Structure 1
């Protein structure tokens, strides 16, 4: 992991350790443990992409991907929260300077959540800003949030009417609506706002974020168009989870196989090797996505290639998780075994809208063949 003075390797390892220790309990309770929350914050995930004038770390996308994956080896849900805290700080960089000053008044470790999945939102112009009411779905980490970034409607490319509003903790609540097969501990509940006033300086156009148009100077990571790097946000936790599955399968294969399994040992070893290769291939794809954006190279179809690569990497990781799940057999299906949790988490995370290969593939092909 590289990138300026971030990360502090020891702090990331401490966060990864806390996430792993608490993973089973977090999965059962549907909430990451307070110890994990504090460790992720102490590791600096919320401040990764915060503008440096407010104390941001100046992290690279490559560094964040590696650190998130390290946490994901122990707990995919914790890694998901860490990743979103980092990338939501990137979103906050699109606010005007006065809005940024308010959001990060207490420092770069301010925890931001976001949702563009607007459900029944009303935003009415009102004396220098808007009065906002409504609800937003799938707000991961809302229970631990200091601020929220929420959209005025479901965004569409090129739609200059959709705004994103920054709302402080005392202006929103949440409803417990997240109960899923996998990624249980992300706490991706529904956020609710009831007639909160949001001044002009705490809002920006979603389409500017989509295109990477900042209100002032920024780093390559902050300026990257949304869909060139959005896949990294959600793929990095899956990369970590797949590595965790590889470790669990390796521990299983290191033991003496039972008689029924002995005959299938070579097949299991081959499946293990293939899964390891798929995980390595996915890592290489995601590393190229991160490096491309870190270098500011996003012309000539590279943004479309990056979107394609992120989604393809997730397909490889999901396939690897399936193979490794099979390798551990009935033991891996036990509720006491970590493999079944990892397998559930990988497939739940891979279902995210931003990680679907087909639309990314079509966007890439049309760009290349036009």
Structure 2
């Protein structure tokens, strides 16, 4: 049994950027390198260059810099495709695209710094606030440590969120963008799954960041982008609803389904195993449909509180369903599916690790907002 890759979608502008076709080729390469990437805890240079060449980093970059100005639906299909071969490769590909979208909130001079020479600049992002910054002449001095910065090993720049003390009330939060060479990386990523994402710790020690390489976090949250008229650059953060992180997991689950189907043969094939695989496939298809719905909301610019809260619910529910699905698949495959050389056990570990991301948890990402949609505001 094999799972067909998604067909190439048509972008909102009426043209296919070619990302899905490139992703289908990348899927094969990533699958070939996946066992070594897992044991070596890093993507090969061949795969990271292929991620760049496929067009993930340029997908949301403005056309005036040679970028694709692509849609969320096309990116989602491409990430799902890569995930069928290697979840870690899909995770890094997804973040390369979404990090460029975040960086679009920089002032115009910042755009020139990142993409003036090439639209394929790879940006890694530390979304969680850490460290601190202080205003100085010409910009900011930044210091701190940021954990879980995926893809930092092959990024050209890193974008980090830090607090700016001053005045009454809580500190303001800003993003600061630093080129490779101005920060150090500590290899701290030791998760049992998604080993090859290189989600290490970035350390910055009193580095000057020019004003044009910083922006207020509130701009990203609201989706207001005064420096760009590209539709994908003007999207509320809540509306994305975990799409960045759940699309690779959908792909990994499809990969797990294919791997399991190859194991359920001979004595392993019986009514119980067949029913288990069918049940798992239903959960995967349901999750895939919900993730596709999220992309439709973004491309359709349906930024109502109801749609945005549903996107959060969709991503978290999909993560739950995919965890359940891969557990069923491991049970159907039996002991053989857990062998060191079997792809199923790698997908199982990757899905378990990826689904633990804070953006895919009901309590932190979906409960409050969607319960208000269903039940009204809490009294």
TM over 0.5: same fold? yes
Aligned match of 1:63: 74
Q: In the alignment, does 2:276 pair up with 1:276? A: no
Q: After TM superposition, give the deviation of residue 367 of structure 1 in Å.
A: 4.0
Aligned match of 1:53: 64
Q: Distance in 1 between matches of 2:76 and 2:20?
A: 13
Unaligned runs of 5+ residues in structure 1 are: none
Q: In the alignment, does 2:89 pair up with 1:78? A: yes
Which one of 312, 327, 331 corresponds to residue 307 of structure 1?
312
Q: Distance in 1 between matches of 2:292 and 2:182?
A: 38
2:157 and 2:178 in contact (8 A); partners too: yes
From the superposition, tell whether residues 328 and 90 of structure 1 become closer, same or farther in structure 2 (CA, over 3 Å).
Answer: same
Q: After TM superposition, give the deviation of residue 361 of structure 1 in Å.
A: 2.2
1:7 and 1:63 in contact (8 A); partners too: no
Q: After TM superposition, give the deviation of residue 108 of structure 1 in Å.
A: 1.0
Q: In the alignment, does 2:40 pair up with 1:35? A: no
Q: In the alignment, does 2:375 pair up with 1:365? A: no
Aligned match of 2:332: 327
**How large is the RMSD of aligned CA atoms in angstroms?**
1.7
Which one of 161, 179, 185 corresponds to residue 151 of structure 1?
161
Q: Distance in 2 between matches of 1:7 and 1:142?
A: 26
Aligned match of 1:292: 297
Q: Distance in 2 between matches of 1:300 and 1:102?
A: 35
Please give the residue correspondences for 1:1-370 in structure 2 after superposition, counting only pairs within 5 Å.
1-2=8-9, 3=11, 4-119=15-130, 121-153=131-163, 161-253=172-264, 255-257=265-267, 261=268, 265-359=270-364, 360-368=366-374, 369-370=376-377
Secondary structure, counterpart of 2:57 in structure 1: helix
**With structure 1 as the length reference, what TM-score do the two structures score?**
0.94
Q: Distance in 1 between matches of 2:271 and 2:171?
A: 57
Moved more, 357-366 or 313-322: 357-366
- Measured against aligned partners, the alpha-carbon deviations of 1:77-134 in whole angstroms (never above 9, x if no partner) come to 0000000000001001111111111011221110000103344x23111102101111
Q: Distance in 2 between matches of 1:341 and 1:300?
A: 37
Moved more, 99-108 or 64-73: 99-108
Secondary structure, counterpart of 2:61 in structure 1: coil
Q: After TM superposition, give the deviation of residue 52 of structure 1 in Å.
A: 2.2
> 1 or 2, which has the higher helix percentage?
1
